[in-house]
Structure 1
């Protein structure tokens, strides 16, 4: 069998490593949006498939037995293509989706539907904004001339950016101590993030809780259309069941 794992997430790498160690032929597909991605074990391909039809043709050509979509919770396009390609080819598809973050005591969270709504909300909460929502969505904030933004991303972002912005390039995981230091150093009074889930980047939420900083959280998009599990172990069991 050949298993295709979609995504450059920590869960995707863990799944590929587990399957590779078991002798299961696995190929990981990365979008190629990060200049120096952390490569998983096993075979790796980088780039798109040319839409759902191209994806379906590729699955048939490569004789893929099963697909595990372990992409980022906000990678809507590739997940939709995977659902369509699975239906067209009959190749089984599983979604590996880590649980979202849960608001706890002391958290001041403001849930929004998308980055456009986040841009409307943040000026009502503060004027020194920490943007951790990814470089591809920065255009949603480019029209805000009043607030100052600290923008954190892995690779340098492309315009448009907010006129008052400082960019810091960094890759997680982060610690609560380092996040506290960053928030205090820059006088941050609002955080903007997507509900990515997982412990890899959750330290900023704990830091905001400690400092009483409000957090604007973008809800996850609907990712229905495929069976879903929340853990790598469950995904491994699903794959081995197909064998």
Structure 2
């Protein structure tokens, strides 16, 4: 019997950790696909495909051509289109699919969250009075805030925001998590931030900005996730490894989980 062929749709830290574990397990022929939104992604321990598939039908063709036995959607929680395409391609080809999707953040006592459904609603939620805004939404949709030029912006992203935001006052920081409470608090204080705009990505790597906002009494405008496709879902790498083991009847699940 040949090796089990797995396609991981990546782009998250969880996808990387999953790839690192799967790469060490015999009996699997796994590869990972990235959308290509990060200019210089870190090397991965699996054969890596970069770029789109051409929608659900293109992904379905790839699944058939590569004889994929299992697809894992470990894309970013806000990569909604890719998740929809994965679900549709799975249905078209009858390829088993599950999602590895980290849990969303939840407000706790002391948080000052304003939840909004999308970026345009976040722009509106800033209001008309000029404010000092920390944009922690990445670079893809930062340009939407040009509709509110009365505010001053601190914009953090992994890759450059190009073209720059068309507003009078904008400062850019290129940085990737994980971040700490101390560094986030210092950043917010240094730039006299009055409100943070972020997406509810979940996870530990960037949660420190929420902890800092709570400690400093700063408002957070939280862009919530869209409802994802209804597919089997796990929230941790450990659970994903167990699901893979169960799917293919791997007897020693413990060895797959070792070091997670």
Whether TM exceeds 0.5 here: the answer is yes
Q: Deviations over 1:147-201 (max 9, x none)?
A: 1000100111123624121111111111111111111111001000000000000
In the TM superposition, structure 1's runs of 4+ consecutive aligned residues that sit over 6 Å from their partners are none
Secondary structure of residue in 2 paired with 1:25: strand
Contact 2:59 2:89 in 1 (8 A): yes
> What runs of 5+ residues in structure 2 fail to find an aligned partner?
249-260
Give the corresponding residue for 2:251.
none
User: Partners in 2 of 1:203 and 1:8 — Cα distance?
Assistant: 21
Contact 2:9 2:74 in 1 (8 A): yes
Give the corresponding residue for 2:12.
9
Q: Deviations over 1:1-36 (max 9, x none)?
A: 111111121100111111112222211111111111
Give the corresponding residue for 1:192.
197
Q: Give the alignment of 1:1-243 within 5 angstroms.
A: 1-23=4-26, 24-123=28-127, 127-159=131-163, 161-163=165-167, 164-243=169-248
Provide the TM-score with structure 2 as the length reference. 0.90
Contact 1:70 1:96 in 2 (8 A): yes
Give, in angstroms, the shift of residue 39 of structure 1: 2.8
Residues 45 and 86 (structure 1 numbering): CA distance in 2 closer, same or farther, change over 3 Å? same
User: Partners in 2 of 1:188 and 1:209 — Cα distance?
Assistant: 13
Contact 2:130 2:150 in 1 (8 A): no
Two-structure CA RMSD over aligned residues (Å): 1.3
> What runs of 5+ residues in structure 1 fail to find an aligned partner?
none
User: Partners in 2 of 1:3 and 1:203 — Cα distance?
Assistant: 34
User: Partners in 2 of 1:33 and 1:141 — Cα distance?
Assistant: 20
Secondary structure of residue in 1 paired with 2:90: helix
